[in-house]
Amino acid sequence: MSSKPHQIIGNSTALKATLAKAKKVAKTVLPVLITGESGTGKELFAQFIHDQSRRAQKPFVAVNCAAIPAELLEAELFGYKKGAFSGATSDKDGLFVQASTGTLFLDEIGDMPLPLQAKILRVLQEGEVRPVGAKAVQKVDVRILSATHRDLAEMAEERKFREDLIFRLKGYAIQLPALRERGHDIVKLARAFLKSREDFTGTGLSRDAQTLLMAYHWPGNVRELQNIILAAAVDARRNIFAEHLVGHLPDTVGVEDPNKSVKERITSALQQAGSLALVDLQSRLKIPKPTIHRHLSRMVAEGDVSRSVVSGQTIFALAAPDSEDEMPQLTQRQEQAVALTRALGRITRQELATELGISIRTASRELSALVTMGALGPDGQSGRMAGYRCLF
Ligand SMILES: Nc1ncnc2c1ncn2[C@@H]1O[C@H](COP(=O)(O)OP(=O)(O)OP(=O)(O)O)[C@@H](O)[C@H]1O
């Protein structure tokens, strides 16, 4: 996969669900609030929404509210009149005007000073701005996208962010998944970063490097992955091996941490043992059976873990990292079925058939396929009332 600017790489279930939402909301003029940990691609998604919108040919203006000193931010956003303050030697349009007819992306909105929040609220309500030092207001037609890694609701409780502004910004909310929740996308992204750089296009990723990348928890998400992979590529002659990564990853990698997520613990156990039966995994990790089963099903559905039956016993192993194309792929209809199940909490054959306009027989077949893939599980009811739940 190439990495042209703005291309969003990855086909994990988590990323695809988020992309589908972004595509849908792009066609509207609703303001969108994008949240997610640092480095998860919030700006990339904002650009994507703009590119997919009817405003694609119009300006996309991005401003990082945390990077501009509070006292300059107002002039930057609203513009100013000549003489409004020392240094204002001529009139200047602000970013709202520059983005007019297009999209304004307010990055790190959680860092916006409170007094300015009130002014932003007014623009969103009235659709007009008043440049610093101006008497008259100016009409603007701007679609607002914003992003933050902060918890705005918590900030509102602490009176650090205006609740009414949250409602205005959040016409629609998109939460980006952390990189550690995107399974095999980690390897795809690493490859794409290497490919995108002329200096490293021939560099490959060894299996042990892929396994290490998959086991790490990526607190800095995609940005951290990009930095580490390119730094490791400098040390590698041709292929990147785990040893090249270790020098650039924090010391904590590979050290057993009691706070490690269940997924990470399963990954390291399978990494050490090669393959394990469910009972063996359970006795090693001392995690309750339903919990481990739920995580394994999800890892199987996302293509991180393979499941096979040997002499009547179900055996799990880490999926071969370079068999990207053999990962179980959901069809569009199966994706819809999963989304519906998630939205409704549970679904029956009859409900799925009605919702998707398909026969009950087809609905049954799709549900069975999803159960086999580990995406859905029976909810315990039987007969015509038998329903299915989402396992992740
Ligand atoms: N799915 C993806 N595919 C390709 N590149 C990605 C993806 N996600 C993120 N990136 C790249 O990772 C880097 C960080 O992404 P971006 O700046 O959009 O993250 P962010 O969430 O806005 O970060 P911050 O919270 O620090 O502002 C960028 O170089 C971006 O192009």
169 shares its domain with 315? no
Residue from 376, 374, 183 nearest 264 by CA: 183
Examine residue 269 and state whether it is found in any structural domain, yes or no.
no
Tokens encoding 186: 């980690």
- CA 58 from centroid of its chain's CA atoms: 26
CATH number, position 107: 3.40.50.300
| Residue 290, domain extent | 276-321
Is there an atom of ligand 1 within 6 Å of 387 CB? no
219 shares its domain with 335? no
Examine residue 1 and state whether it is found in any structural domain, yes or no.
no
The residue with tokens 């919990």 is 291
Q: Which residue's CA lies nearest to atom 15 of ligand 1?
A: 41
In this prediction, residue 3 carries a pLDDT of: 38
Question: What is the atom index within ligand 1 of the atom nearest the CA of 34?
Answer: 21
Examine residue 252 and state whether it is found in any structural domain, yes or no.
no
134 shares its domain with 185? no
184 shares its domain with 136? no
Examine residue 203 and state whether it is found in any structural domain, yes or no.
yes
Instruction: For residue range 75-111, list pLDDT tens digits in order.
Output: 999 999 988 888 888 889 999 999 999 999 999 999 9
Question: What is the atom index within ligand 1 of the atom nearest the CA of 47?
Answer: 18
What kind and span of H or E run contains 388?
strand 387-390
- Give the 3-state secondary structure of residue 285: helix
Q: Which residue's CA lies nearest to atom 8 of ligand 1?
A: 41
Examine residue 270 and state whether it is found in any structural domain, yes or no.
no
What kind and span of H or E run contains 103?
strand 103-107
Last residue of a domain, one of 296, 321, 346: 321
CATH number, position 206: 1.10.8.60
In this prediction, residue 24 carries a pLDDT of: 97
**How many angstroms separate the CA atoms of 147 and 46, rounded?**
8
Number of neighbours of residue 293 by Cβ within 10 angstroms: 17
Task: Please give, one letter per residue, the 3-state secondary structure of 238-276.
Answer: CEECHHHHHCCCCCCCCCCCCCCCHHHHHHHHHHHHCEE
Examine residue 105 and state whether it is found in any structural domain, yes or no.
yes
190 shares its domain with 167? no
In this prediction, residue 71 carries a pLDDT of: 82
**How many angstroms separate the CA atoms of 209 and 217, rounded?**
14
Could you say which residues of the chain have pLDDT below 50? Answer: 1-4, 252-258, 323-327
Compute the distance from residue 45 Cα to the ligand 1 centre, in Å. Answer: 8
Q: Which residue's CA lies nearest to atom 18 of ligand 1?
A: 41
Question: What is the atom index within ligand 1 of the atom nearest the CA of 148?
Answer: 25
289 shares its domain with 338? no
Q: What is the ipTM of this complex?
A: 0.98
In this prediction, residue 255 carries a pLDDT of: 35
CATH number, position 284: 1.10.10.10
Count of domains observed in the chain: 4
195 shares its domain with 219? yes
Last residue of a domain, one of 142, 175, 208: 175
CB distance 142 to 99 below 8 Å: yes
What kind and span of H or E run contains 144?
strand 143-148
Handedness of CA 67, 70, 75, 78 (dihedral sign): positive
The residue ranges of DSSP E strands in 149-243, in sequence order, are 172-175, 204-205, 239-240
The structure's pTM equals 0.67
Tokens encoding 315: 């055996």
In this prediction, residue 326 carries a pLDDT of: 40
In this prediction, residue 13 carries a pLDDT of: 92
Is there an atom of ligand 1 within 6 Å of 9 CB? yes
225 shares its domain with 281? no
Compute the distance from residue 210 Cα to the ligand 1 centre, in Å. Answer: 20
Compute the distance from residue 100 Cα to the ligand 1 centre, in Å. Answer: 25
230 shares its domain with 143? no
95 shares its domain with 192? no
Tokens encoding 369: 């396929």
126 shares its domain with 191? no
Q: Which of 222, 226, 230 to mutate to test the pocket of ligand 1 (most atoms within 8 A of CB)?
A: 222
Q: Which of 19, 37, 42, 44 to mutate to test the pocket of ligand 1 (most atoms within 8 A of CB)?
A: 44
Is there an atom of ligand 1 within 6 Å of 19 CB? no
Q: What is the CA angle 29-35-40, rounded to 5?
A: 115
Is there an atom of ligand 1 within 6 Å of 334 CB? no
Residue from 181, 203, 183, 182 nearest 192 by CA: 203
In this prediction, residue 161 carries a pLDDT of: 96
CB distance 350 to 384 below 8 Å: yes
The residue ranges of DSSP E strands in 182-242, in sequence order, are 204-205, 239-240
Examine residue 267 and state whether it is found in any structural domain, yes or no.
no
Is there an atom of ligand 1 within 6 Å of 8 CB? yes
Instruction: For residue range 313-332, list pLDDT tens digits in order.
Output: 777 888 765 544 444 577 88
Examine residue 266 and state whether it is found in any structural domain, yes or no.
no
Taking all residues of the chain, what is their mean pLDDT, rounded to a whole number?
Answer: 86
Is there an atom of ligand 1 within 6 Å of 374 CB? no
Compute the distance from residue 81 Cα to the ligand 1 centre, in Å. Answer: 36
In this prediction, residue 59 carries a pLDDT of: 97
75 shares its domain with 132? yes
